[in-house]
Structure 1
């Protein structure tokens, strides 16, 4: 099943369309830490991390220390007290305890390098590592929807992957929005549209021209597998093709009920994918499904209720003439919900992309301006040597000199 009935949704889409000229914004280095640095690109904070998992985490923790600490505080001390987590019909009033239990249960399925990275984040930010781990497992409690369009819908045949994320603007994640450009040692560089303190991904693209977004369903309680956000991170680090990405989901134990859209800029192909704890199904471009009553040639359209109807209508009306401007308009309300946290349009075949975030007052991302980026240019950026080199808290500095401690 590729469409869920819940009102809370993440709307994602892959659009294979025509390109706009890239806008290369000026940049200013804010601070440095080891091989990592934080820069301002046309008013958007871009975090560069490089090296081993621990080094990348430590760079993030140090450069985004105050953001991470405030993000974790608000998530658990404010929103956490308001949140009721329903599992197996029971309302659990202590979500942090629930999340900690989920993290402990899933530890054996998660590659150790991600725990090393979270240890680095904790050491750099001066936080207990368990607080960082708990925050990173929050996405396991939230679930969502999406769509894909093919080359025949475009002017020039560019590969576009659009993504509408709806997680709820009242969590204030948009106040800590970060674009992370990562160069993991021995793995594929990638960009992660994310938030301070997180190492997993829900929206990203790598240098091998593979982009991915997630959608969720139900299935809470089925947590014996690799968390969704870490599976996506594995795709960004390791997938060199659409087939590689599919194999990562197919060959690893999975959790809950999740759906994904993956695009391959090299081949121009994309798939919708159910990768739940007990099911694995692919839907190719142009294929129909009982829950998708309006199949569109050379397209996969995955959404829910009236949003699906409106999205299908927009795609049919614009077929053959889409460019990046009109592709972004596909993400306008009501396809995007009021709780629209971020919108992203990837031009997966070139590495260019556009990002919009919800406003601080909670206005949805679809109503905000987009920032233009180019992954290749971001990867070539180097910090200004005159920018401040940050020192981590004394406790964290000592930790950086030793091997990461085992995460319990």
Structure 2
């Protein structure tokens, strides 16, 4: 599979999957660089490390500091993603892979890749926060990456297909544990540029609160992350919806920006529910939002037409392979995906009453085999996050994040 591959619902987890017995790394990050409005750290040892960037100020200030801190890596990351995207487009047009939404391929065929991405930027611009464009300009100025390339690459989520998994589990121990796995394959460039970016916006009443974005160097949309209000996000791309989803739309806020808005601006689960309910939505997704303050988690059936919110009592899809579990909300790989949901339900039932970050890392994600590229487990009660990234092209060890 490529990083943009769709997931086939008939694929099954291997029955010989084994637990992940790797130790959890707990040492403090090491500071390696300081600029005005920014500090850069590494965490890990040897070749198995990732970056943590802290940035402060206005959207432009934070983008500029981000660019200064990781300028060479940002250039390499954006160039590598662009080349990979071009290669995948060629294969898709030739019919050798099925990874892009049909309307996007029609646009590419008619007007070319650059123009197709610019069109997507145009039709979503009015729904996108101004901070994104200001921060992108700062990132371009600080790193030397072409601004148009940054903007175009951030449209990837709207026109590709992907698969992921999520869960939220709470109980009598005053706890809320949340999972987000990212199942893009590990053949592309993302695995070589893992980074956590921690934002500290200027306290002017307009730019929100502190939050952490888990992703890659130069990536300023959100697919994974948590904020200072002990809230976190999860997301699954839906390739196999049912009729309840209705229609998708191209005209709305890109999902990586609405998820970032939740992290940056929302203080409660109700805030996030209101945002998602009232937004101009686009593509078919399952979203997840957890709030450690209230110990609540909701998953969201999300499309251009609908936003339905689920807890453990009304969870959908309502199917024998997706049984309801008290105090747990979960989705494996897709909406209509019996094999992975069945295994996920089995593992969660096995540990019901003792679902911890450690048990998820050891005995849920490696047995379900979800999280090729990235695994994030949020302990929203204690305000911790556990992160694993896929093996980089220059590293040794197990290839998938769920094995590391």
TM-score of the superposed pair, with normalisation by structure 1: 0.79
SS in 2 for 1:332: helix
CA shift in 2, pair 1:37/1:76, >3 Å: same
Q: Which whole-Å CA distance do the structure 2 matches of 1:185 and 1:227 have between them?
A: 24
Instruction: Tell me the number of residue pairs that the alignment of Structure 1 and Structure 2 aligns.
Output: 349
Unaligned runs of 5+ in 1: 1-5, 10-21, 369-408
- Kindly indicate whether residue 186 of structure 2 is the aligned counterpart of residue 180 of structure 1: no
SS in 1 for 2:251: coil
Aligned to 2:122: 104
Aligned to 2:374: 342
SS in 1 for 2:349: helix
- Kindly indicate whether residue 259 of structure 2 is the aligned counterpart of residue 238 of structure 1: no
1:102-146 C-alpha deviation (Å, 9 max, x unpaired): 112111110111100001111111122111101111121234353
- Kindly indicate whether residue 203 of structure 2 is the aligned counterpart of residue 148 of structure 1: no
CA shift in 2, pair 1:86/1:48, >3 Å: same
SS in 2 for 1:260: strand
Pairwise CA RMSD of aligned residues? 2.5
Report matched runs for 1:17-166 at 5 Å. Answer: 24-42=26-44, 43-83=49-89, 84=92, 85-88=100-103, 92=108, 94-143=112-161, 144-152=163-171, 156-166=173-183
Aligned to 2:229: 208
Q: Which whole-Å CA distance do the structure 2 matches of 1:237 and 1:105 have between them?
A: 23
1:257-302 C-alpha deviation (Å, 9 max, x unpaired): 1211111101111011122111111111232434443111222222
Q: Which whole-Å CA distance do the structure 2 matches of 1:31 and 1:141 have between them?
A: 36
Q: Which whole-Å CA distance do the structure 2 matches of 1:349 and 1:182 have between them?
A: 21
Q: Which whole-Å CA distance do the structure 2 matches of 1:288 and 1:334 have between them?
A: 20
Q: Report how far residue 367 of structure 1 moved.
A: 1.2
Unaligned runs of 5+ in 2: 1-5, 10-23, 93-99, 240-245
Q: Which has the higher contact order (CA 8 A, sep 6+)?
A: 1
Q: Please say if residues 148 and 285 of structure 1, whose CA atoms lie closer than 8 Å, have aligned partners that are also in contact.
A: no
Aligned to 2:7: 7
Q: Please say if residues 292 and 302 of structure 1, whose CA atoms lie closer than 8 Å, have aligned partners that are also in contact.
A: no
Q: Which whole-Å CA distance do the structure 2 matches of 1:184 and 1:318 have between them?
A: 39
Report matched runs for 1:303-322 at 5 Å. Answer: 303=332, 304-322=337-355
Q: Which whole-Å CA distance do the structure 2 matches of 1:203 and 1:260 have between them?
A: 11
Q: Report how far residue 90 of structure 1 moved.
A: 5.2
Q: Which whole-Å CA distance do the structure 1 matches of 2:248 and 2:81 have between them?
A: 21
Q: Please say if residues 311 and 335 of structure 1, whose CA atoms lie closer than 8 Å, have aligned partners that are also in contact.
A: no
